[in-house]
Amino acid sequence: MGVLFEEDSLGVFLLVTVLLGGGAAWLAGRAIAQTWRPWWSLIPYMLILGVAIRFFHVTLFNGTALSPHYYAVDTCIALLLAGLGFRLTRKAQMRRQYGFLDTPVAPSAAQQDAAP
């Protein structure tokens, strides 16, 4: 038994929690950002996804069903990846929507005359 995973193999943890659960979390974070919902709406969805990840560990790899520690680990990883997907998607949205804020502004004639 490890701190992050309970199975005998790190590969099972990487497959189920990081690849499958993290991929679903990433897509959920992107979907929430694309619909312009706030970041905190990720939390209830990731709590549910944590249960689903735990379910896969239990049914496929004989994990512990009622393990608050491993549920918290799975949910934290899902929250991390969902937040990352949300943040990168929202950043791209803001750049696309408000790109004019990033463009440099040419100095006006009054500012050019005031320069030494």
* 59-75 pLDDT tens trace: 998 888 888 988 999 99
- Whether 103 maps to a domain, the answer reads no
Cβ(30)–Cβ(91) below 8 Å: no
- Whether 37 maps to a domain, the answer reads yes
Q: Kindly report the pTM of this predicted structure.
A: 0.81
- Whether 101 maps to a domain, the answer reads no
Q: Is the confidence at residue 115, as pLDDT, over 60?
A: no
Q: What does residue 99 show for φ and ψ, rounded to 5 degrees? A: -65, -25
Question: Rounded to whole angstroms, how far apart are CA atoms 66 and 58?
Answer: 9
- Whether 60 maps to a domain, the answer reads yes
Question: Rounded to whole angstroms, how far apart are CA atoms 22 and 16?
Answer: 8
pLDDT at position 108 is 65
Domain of 69, in residue numbers = 10-95
Res. 114 pLDDT band, cuts 50 70 90: low
Q: Is the confidence at residue 43, as pLDDT, over 90?
A: yes
- Whether 66 maps to a domain, the answer reads yes
- Whether 4 maps to a domain, the answer reads no
Average pLDDT over residues 29-34: 97
Work out how many domains the chain is built from and give that number: 1
